[in-house]
Amino acid sequence: MCDYSLEMYASRPARESEKYVTTRFPSGSIGLAAPGDCTTAVCVQYDTHLKLEGISSDLQTRLAVKDEEHVVFARLEHGAYRDGVKFDNGKEISLQLLGSGVGVTLVELAKPEIVRERQDVLETID
């Protein structure tokens, strides 16, 4: 979703496979925007899988993550800002802590029928 702090800006939903960047809006809040359009907040649904690129070396060290990571967009239950990401290692942080300039791509997930076909094939092999 778009954090409450971004409600004063124009917004639009995220699109699969489109690239975004974490951006500091004039209010001081960090959200997602398309490169070259820092006036429109891009809203992501919770539980959406994302790929982050360009995570700062400081955060890499503090969170035990790499420069590129797959994460899940999450609603945080604590703090002033609720939009965040959850890493595979279980760590969760607010978008505000990511800082500006981190690349974000929505990850295309396998369609349910493809997953079922793969499960059928694996059961046949067993």
pLDDT for 74 beyond 70? yes
pLDDT for 115 beyond 50? no
pLDDT for 32 beyond 70? yes
pLDDT for 53 beyond 90? yes
| Tokens (6 digits) for 102 | 């981190």
pLDDT of residue 12: 93
Q: Are 65 and 89 in contact (CB under 8 A)?
A: yes
Over residues 21-30, mean pLDDT:
93
* Tens of pLDDT, residues 85-114: 999 999 999 999 999 999 999 987 655 554
pLDDT of residue 1: 61
What letter does residue 62 receive in the DSSP assignment? Answer: H
Q: Residue with structure tokens 């092999």?
A: 125
Q: Please name which of 56, 78, 80 lies closest in space to residue 69, comparing C-alpha atoms.
A: 56
**Could you give the CA distance from residue 47 to residue 56 in angstroms, rounded to a whole number?**
23
| Tokens (6 digits) for 97 | 């802590």
**Could you give the CA distance from residue 94 to residue 53 in angstroms, rounded to a whole number?**
16
